[in-house]
Amino acid sequence: MPRRRKEDPGSRRRARDRRLHRSRHRAALSVEKPPFSRVQALVKKIPRGRVATYGQLSKMIDGRLTPVGVGWAIRAAGEDEIPWFRVVNGKGGISTDAFHMGLQRSLLEAEGVRFDDGNVIDLERYGWKPAKLEAKPKPEPKRK
């Protein structure tokens, strides 16, 4: 029969402390939504007849995802869960694959969004400007 190792008297305490630390850490993380969920919640708030850009959504979640990451978050949600078609690129153009390009355009036009001759949306006219974002104070420039 193998000899039992003598247990370190502090090991149980350290193990308990690690468990408590992990549970506190998990609780702190669960308060804030993960970036994908935050993006998907924002996309649901874009009103009919308005569009937002990938970069705009990235800024709204404090840059936790790049604009490309915002695209991945939208794609991960599925077509039926969020109005994915209301998100366009920074120039007001459609950045989906060829199959969805016509679909996205027709869905936006059905909501009253108009495209110019170059297949671009006027972001000044149709861009979503949420009140919370506009009310954010601009940071003061750093002094030298």
70 within some domain: yes
pLDDT-above-90 percentage for the chain: 53
Q: What is the DSSP string of 16-58?
A: HHHHHHHHHHHHHHHHSPPHHHHHHHHHHHSPTT-BEEHHHHH
Domain containing 99: what range? 35-128
Cα distances (Å, whole numbers) of residue 61 to 16, 52, 87, 91, 119: 35, 13, 15, 20, 28
In a domain, residue 133? The reply is no
The pTM for the full model equals: 0.68
User: Is residue 28 in a domain?
Assistant: no
pLDDT higher than threshold 70 for residue 135: no
Least confident of 15-24, 50-59, 69-78: 15-24
Q: pLDDT tens digits, residue range 106-134?
A: 999 999 999 999 899 999 999 999 986 54
32: pLDDT strictly greater than 80: no
Q: What would the pLDDT profile of 42-67 be if each residue is shown by its tens digit?
A: 999 999 999 999 999 999 999 899 99
pLDDT attached to residue 25: 46
80's CB contacts (< 8 A; 6+ apart) are none
Which residues are registered as beta bridge partners of 117? none
Query: Does 37 have pLDDT greater than 90?
Result: yes
pLDDT, position 97: 74
**CATH number, residue 101:** 1.10.10.10
Give the pLDDT confidence score for residue 79 in this predicted structure.
Answer: 82
pLDDT for position 8:
67
Helix axis angle, 67-77 to 35-45, nearest 10°: 80
Q: Does residue 12 fall inside a structural domain?
A: no
Joined tokens for residue 11: 């090991």
The answer to whether residue 118 is domain-embedded is yes
d(CA 135, CA 112): 27
User: Please, are residues 83 and 57 in contact by the beta-carbon 8 Å criterion?
Assistant: no
Burial class (CB in 10 A: 0-12, 13-18, 19+), 89: middle
